[in-house]
């Protein structure tokens, strides 16, 4: 029998959201940070139009999409790589620059997929302490080892929802060795552009990559389109390990149309932000500790892991699914996606009922 490589054999599969609602109860999924509304109608129209050309391979250079992204953000199209979601690009970066004898570093409560790609590459995964669930630049710099090759920072953070400023990221880049690749994952960047300016400037002349996705603010998780800005010496190497036809033609067309419809995306962010703030306020008034958030989700901190498990069970009994956060080192937390208002209110109501039952 063929055996997997030892470092793969000892891995656990990446933990996806459990979506098994009780029989006879409708599922309310607030667990995957999907958008509370669908893509721009222009994106759907563009994708449908490209279905007639499905016999041809997609553009391996994503030319039209890259040019639209470059024009929107005032960056060079030559530095853009696209992937099947930003996860694809994260994995390709690790495959290229991590491995035995090279370590990967991230904040303590970082996106768990960073750990997964380190394990896939057979690299050591190190973490740096956070300050009240916010990435700590000084702790990251203090945690750098001689073999550190990659530093991943999600900004805003997932699952925390917290954000650090561009000045903080610039200080991190300045403090890192020149041979360390800094990857800034801005999957939720569109929700937070008012708080922390994009870091495109860091890519020019430094060992830095900035990633984004169309899965969140653009409501296109099902299309699987992510992208990033890379320095030439990094993109040339990453391109070697990428699937040359990684983004389908309908997805490329839909993504370009969505990028060109900025008004729709910004409206989605505004609707989401208003409902997120209302949700956080309602939960805090009910007695919950909820972290500040600049994303499309909120992280609820409970007094203990058992309390989080109990609240989760209470929600699931009604078909309402939030997301446990053991994989991010937060077993006492639930992450709640801001979904459509009716479903979000259902979750708030159930959490309030649970809190009354357990605080009596």
The answer, yes or no, to whether residue 262 has pLDDT greater than 90, is: yes
| pLDDT, position 26 | 81
- Output phi, psi for 140, to 5 deg: -65, -45
- Output phi, psi for 109, to 5 deg: -110, 35
- To the nearest whole percent, how much of the chain has pLDDT over 70? 95
| pLDDT, position 17 | 61
Average pLDDT over every residue of 49-78: 95
The answer, yes or no, to whether residue 21 has pLDDT greater than 80, is: no
Domain coordinates of the chain in residue numbers?
7-38+263-359, 50-260
The answer, yes or no, to whether residue 8 has pLDDT greater than 80, is: no
Can you give the pTM of this predicted structure?
0.94
Per-residue pLDDT band at 169 (split at 50, 70, 90): very high
| Whole-Å CA distances, 220 to 38, 246, 252, 255, 301 | 7, 16, 11, 8, 29
Query: Lowest mean pLDDT: which of 151-160, 180-189, 215-224, 350-359?
Result: 350-359
Does the domain formed by 50-260 have CATH 3.40.640.10? yes
Show Cβ contacts of residue 40 under 8 Å, excluding neighbours closer than 6 positions.
218, 219, 257, 258, 261, 264, 265
| pLDDT, position 287 | 95
Per-residue pLDDT band at 301 (split at 50, 70, 90): very high
Q: Which fold has domain 7-38+263-359?
A: 3.90.1150
The answer, yes or no, to whether residue 255 has pLDDT greater than 70, is: yes
The answer, yes or no, to whether residue 195 has pLDDT greater than 70, is: no
Q: Is the peptide bond before 177 cis (omega within 30 degrees of 0)?
A: no
CA 172 to chain centroid: 20
The answer, yes or no, to whether residue 16 has pLDDT greater than 70, is: no
Average pLDDT over every residue of 259-275: 97
């Amino acid at each position: 029998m063929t055996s997997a490589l030892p470092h793969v054999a000892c891995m656990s599969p990446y933990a996806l959201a459990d979506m098994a609602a009780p029989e006879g109860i409708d599922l309310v999924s607030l667990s995957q940070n999907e958008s509370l509304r669908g893509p721009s109608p222009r994106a759907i129209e563009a994708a449908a139009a490209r279905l007639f050309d499905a016999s041809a391979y997609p553009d391996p250079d994503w030319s039209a999409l890259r040019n639209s992204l470059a024009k929107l953000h005032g960056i060079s199209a030559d530095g853009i790589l696209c992937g099947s979601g930003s996860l694809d690009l994260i994995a390709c970066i690790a495959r290229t620059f991590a491995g035995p004898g090279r370590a990967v570093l991230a904040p303590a409560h970082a996106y768990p997929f960073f750990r997964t790609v380190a394990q896939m590459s057979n690299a050591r995964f190190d973490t740096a302490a956070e300050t009240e669930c916010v990435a700590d630049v000084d702790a990251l710099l203090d945690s750098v080892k001689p073999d550190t090759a990659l530093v991943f920072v999600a900004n805003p953070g997932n699952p925390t929802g917290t954000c650090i400023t561009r000045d903080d990221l610039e200080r991190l880049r300045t403090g890192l060795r020149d041979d360390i690749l800094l990857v800034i994952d801005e999957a939720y960047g569109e929700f937070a552009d008012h708080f922390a300016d994009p870091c495109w400037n860091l890519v020019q002349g430094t060992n830095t990559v900035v990633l984004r996705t169309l899965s969140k603010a653009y409501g296109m998780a099902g299309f699987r389109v992510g992208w990033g800005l890379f320095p030439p010496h990094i993109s040339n190497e990453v391109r070697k390990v990428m699937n040359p036809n990684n983004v389908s033609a309908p997805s490329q067309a839909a993504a370009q149309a969505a990028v060109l419809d900025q008004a729709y995306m910004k409206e989605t962010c505004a609707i989401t932000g208003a409902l997120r703030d209302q949700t956080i306020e309602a939960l805090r008034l009910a007695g919950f500790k909820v972290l500040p958030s600049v994303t499309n989700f909120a992280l609820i901190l409970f007094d203990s892991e058992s309390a989080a498990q109990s609240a989760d069970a209470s929600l699931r009994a009604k078909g309402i699914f939030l997301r446990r956060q053991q994989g991010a080192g937060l077993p006492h937390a639930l992450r709640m996606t801001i979904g459509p208002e009716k479903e979000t209110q259902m979750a708030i109501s159930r959490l309030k009922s649970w809190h009354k039952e357990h605080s009596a």
